[in-house]
Chain A
Amino acid sequence: MSAVLQTAKLCKSFGALTVAANIDFALEPGARHALIGPNGAGKTTFVNLLTGRLEPTSGSVMLGGEDVSALSSAERVKRGLGRTFQINTLFGNMSVLDNVALGVAERRGGAAKWWKPASAYKEVRDEALELLASLGIADDAALRVLDLPYGKQRLVEIAIALGLRPKVLLLDEPAAGVPKDESERILDALGNLPKDIAILIIEHDMELVFRFAQRITVLVQGEVLCEGTPHEIEHDPRVREVYLGEAHV
């Protein structure tokens, strides 16, 4: 199986400060992969390197076998790389439907049409509604996003990313900031994600990680400490020492 997302010796330094050192990483199609590590390990930096928000100092990022290290975020999106943000990055004053529809329209290629009204493009609307339904928030389509409870906003965040029909989806702490009574909804949504998408999830919530992931990579101070199945990671003494010792499993 060839990896759908791969990095080779990926490095990033800001002057004397190295935030990513020689990261070799591979994501298989349909994967359910988690990236964990203590605070400041460089997880979000790694995601930014993958998506193109940061340029690597050296090393490469390959998407679907193609070297995308020099491409912008928008171009990587067009090639099937989607992401959600750790802090909700939504179109706050727009409706839930519009939030998702914008992404769908970009993907379908009609987003720059200026003559006919947007509401005439029924295919865009219908697809957006379908996505919302798959996450259980279709009833909130007309509501203003900022009026929703935080947990549902997180779902809108995921819906937007799904609207791009990505081959790879990077979820940056999807449960972050979600109150305990709403996190079940997030977990369900994650479980229902399309099987053909390769998913990399960055999380601190160990319950979510162990419930969701088939493989786990542990990142410490910008370097890969180890990688393996949840069982292997759970029992790896180095991991216990560095990280799992702080959490409660």
Chain B
Amino acid sequence: MKHPVGYNANPRIRWTEWLPWVLAVIVFFALPDYLSMGARVLTYILFALSLDLILGYAGIITLGHAAFFGMGAYVTGIISVKLGVTDPFLQLLASALAAGLLGLLTGAVIMRMHGLTQLMLTLAVAAVCLEIANKATHLTGGADGLAGVVVAPVLGMFKFDLYGKTAYWWCLGLLFVCWWLVRRMIYSPFGASLNGIRENRVRMEAIGAPVTARLVIVYTVSAVMAGLAGALLTQTNQVVGLNVLGFEPSGELMVMLILGGVGRLYGAFVGPIVFLVAQDYLAKQFPEYWFFGIGLLLVAVVLFARGGILGICDGLIAKVRGRS
């Protein structure tokens, strides 16, 4: 795992780090028919980034990250359909607050635990959320979900249309802001201490660090980001359903992240792109083989390529450098 952080690290943004953004702009002009797909990819990159924070950097295994994603998705849906709040900024704010609150409350409890108990609690929280969404039909639409989510034009000017142009820039903009903030955090002393917690929690406590408090903070930040991603999904699809909650989206997200490379900022970028593009082509044709394939991929990555795609790239680069 590459963690270029710490007190000696150079925080300047390398030119290679601008490539994803350049690529994103190029896609807007070169692939105008794929913008909704693009918005979807950007949404999942944000979601994966939030998971990477807690899983890759803080080292906490969670099976229930979809709870925050779902919370964000449903809050935006509910305030639009039930309360008529259609301003996209307000929707994002509401989702961020709701998901953040859930993250803070559950995190304060879960971060004190260890091992199976901690894992179980993350799963239980997500299960409770799914159950509530399923049963509170008057609020969430139950198994049918909520349709007809209205999103007003951004700043009164840019409509969310069928071609997905506004959606694309909207997602890209939010992702950029979040990426920039996460990057600052990773290079900061706080980020260095997260590394320490992941590397050796006992040692971290022995140097007087308030480990649980730090973990709760990063858990809450991660929940806010996941909630924002969920809100984006609802805004771009104008519907929200039970498929944003539960174990499956958490599991799929883990595949995306592992595929790209856990614990690396850009693993959260590479993974979802590869996964969603492949899913778009393959899953439609052979849905069962697709599902089998990602399971197999996960097993293979764990056994043979723990650093994911970026890890393999690192290996190749090292080999090339070794020769020259």
Q: A interface vs B, CB < 8 Å?
A: 51, 73-75, 77-78, 83, 85, 89-95, 97-98, 101-103, 105-107, 110-121, 124-125, 128, 141-142, 160, 163-164
Q: Is B184 an interface residue (CB 8 A)?
A: yes
Q: How far is the CA of A121 from the CA of B203 in the complex (A)?
A: 22
A73 touching B206, Cβ below 8 Å? yes
A90 touching B188, Cβ below 8 Å? no
Known interface pairs A91-B199, A98-B6; A112-B189 also in contact (CB < 8 Å): yes
B6 touching A118, Cβ below 8 Å? yes
The interface residues of chain A lying within 8 Å CB-to-CB of B195 are 91, 94, 98
A107 touching B188, Cβ below 8 Å? no
The interface residues of chain A lying within 8 Å CB-to-CB of B187 are 117-119
Contact of A91 among B11, B190, B196, B214 (CB under 8 A): B196
The B interface is mostly helix, strand or loop, or mixed, namely: helix
B200 touching A91, Cβ below 8 Å? yes
Q: How far is the CA of A79 from the CA of B206 in the complex (A)?
A: 12
B200 touching A89, Cβ below 8 Å? yes
Q: How far is the CA of A107 from the CA of B8 in the complex (A)?
A: 19
Per-residue CB proximity of B156-199 to A under 8 Å, as 1/0? 00000000000000000000000000001101111111011001
210-224 of chain B: CB within 8 A of chain A: 210-211, 214, 217
Interface centre among B3, B191, B204 (most CB of A within 10 A): B204
Q: Is B18 an interface residue (CB 8 A)?
A: no
A201 to chain B, nearest CB (A): 17
Q: How far is the CA of A98 from the CA of B211 in the complex (A)?
A: 17
Interface size class of B (residues with CB under 8 A): 20 to 34
Q: How far is the CA of A25 from the CA of B222 in the complex (A)?
A: 47
Q: How many A-B residue pairs have CB under 8 A?
A: 128
Interface centre among A75, A111, A160 (most CB of B within 10 A): A111
The interface residues of chain B lying within 8 Å CB-to-CB of A98 are 6-8, 192, 195-196
A248 to chain B, nearest CB (A): 34
B205 touching A119, Cβ below 8 Å? no
Q: Is B10 an interface residue (CB 8 A)?
A: yes
Known interface pairs A94-B6, A119-B9; A110-B189 also in contact (CB < 8 Å): yes
Q: How far is the CA of A133 from the CA of B16 in the complex (A)?
A: 36
Known interface pairs A118-B9, A128-B7; A90-B205 also in contact (CB < 8 Å): no
The interface residues of chain A lying within 8 Å CB-to-CB of B6 are 94-95, 97-98, 101, 118-119
The interface residues of chain B lying within 8 Å CB-to-CB of A91 are 195-196, 199-200, 203
Query: A94-B6, A111-B209, A128-B7 known; 15 other A-B pairs, CB under 8 Å?
Result: A73-B206, A74-B208, A83-B206, A89-B203, A91-B199, A97-B6, A97-B8, A98-B196, A101-B6, A111-B189, A112-B214, A114-B185, A118-B5, A119-B7, A160-B203
B205 touching A74, Cβ below 8 Å? yes
